[in-house]
Amino acid sequence: MVRSIVRSVLMVIACLGAQAPGACKEAVQLAFKFSPGEVTTYEVAVSGAGHVRSSEGELVPVGVQGSLSFNCRTVEVLADGSGRSEGRLMRADVEASIGQQRARFLYANGRLRWFANGQEHPPPNVDLSQLPLLGAPIVFTVAPNGRVSGDSSLLEALREAAPAIGGGQFPQVGEQVFPDGPVAVGETWRHTAQLHPLGPTAPITITTSRTLDSHSLEGGVGVAKISGYSEARLRAGQLSLSQGETEVRVATPRLRRTITSTEFFNTSEGRLLRADYEVAVSAEVSVGIEEEEREGGVEARFHVTVQAR
């Protein structure tokens, strides 16, 4: 009897001293949930800066800043609980700079506008209704554990321009986000995968680590705070791209991308609420046009915020 009381008191003390709000609660199942016809809008803000290094060693500053609005509509829920969805870009206002040159991209209500150094120019002569994300939705499937698969419209277009990319594993484009079983507060799960979206000669190795920092009830809704770190490395041999009658050779001997994230996930409804991502990119690139060969590099950092509505 005394031993039981002591054990209970110690448990209460441990709970009161725990930093995570959900530290004393049972393990929680992290999983995406879908309903047919459900529409979620994601507001995305991005800002970043870095530099490009030319083959002569010159450093040119680069930057990007802007916002986007992306709609995702669930058209079907599969037998395993996966959601088949359509995604469209509803609005975008993004400005990018390279040195003293600035370009601004505006898209709203099906209309595209383009500015260079503050002066508006006619947009490209293309049928926007046929462009993925703009006129035509991209179709993809998200499993309950967060793994994404989908059509290959974007990568197919790239493959047409670069036949050497043929044979890439287009259907599988994502990684598993959540474990299949319940997760306890403080628990970390890791995942390593090798993807081949650009073909067998250009593998992308991705390693991720995520931790459930806390799980609490906010207004009767379960909210999980998840911190994460992801690293992707690409070592690509030479790819041949067609530019009219000119063949362009591109090689990426080194590309590294890291993402440090903080995400808030609605465990009751199974959807992302909001997230912050710090992205760092570094790469070495070699470009050859006919007999000319140039090497350079890129170093940049970006901050991305996502808010679901």
Report yes or no on whether pTM surpasses 0.85. Answer: no
State in words which class domain 20-308 has: mainly beta
**What's residue 103's pLDDT?**
96
pLDDT band for position 5 (50/70/90)? very low
Query: Which residue matches tokens 């319940």?
Result: 182
What are the tens digits of pLDDT across the range 149-176? 875 554 454 444 444 434 433 334 467 8
74-122 tens-digit pLDDT: 999 999 999 999 999 999 999 999 999 999 999 998 889 999 999 999 8
In the chain, pLDDT over 90 holds for what percent of residues? 55
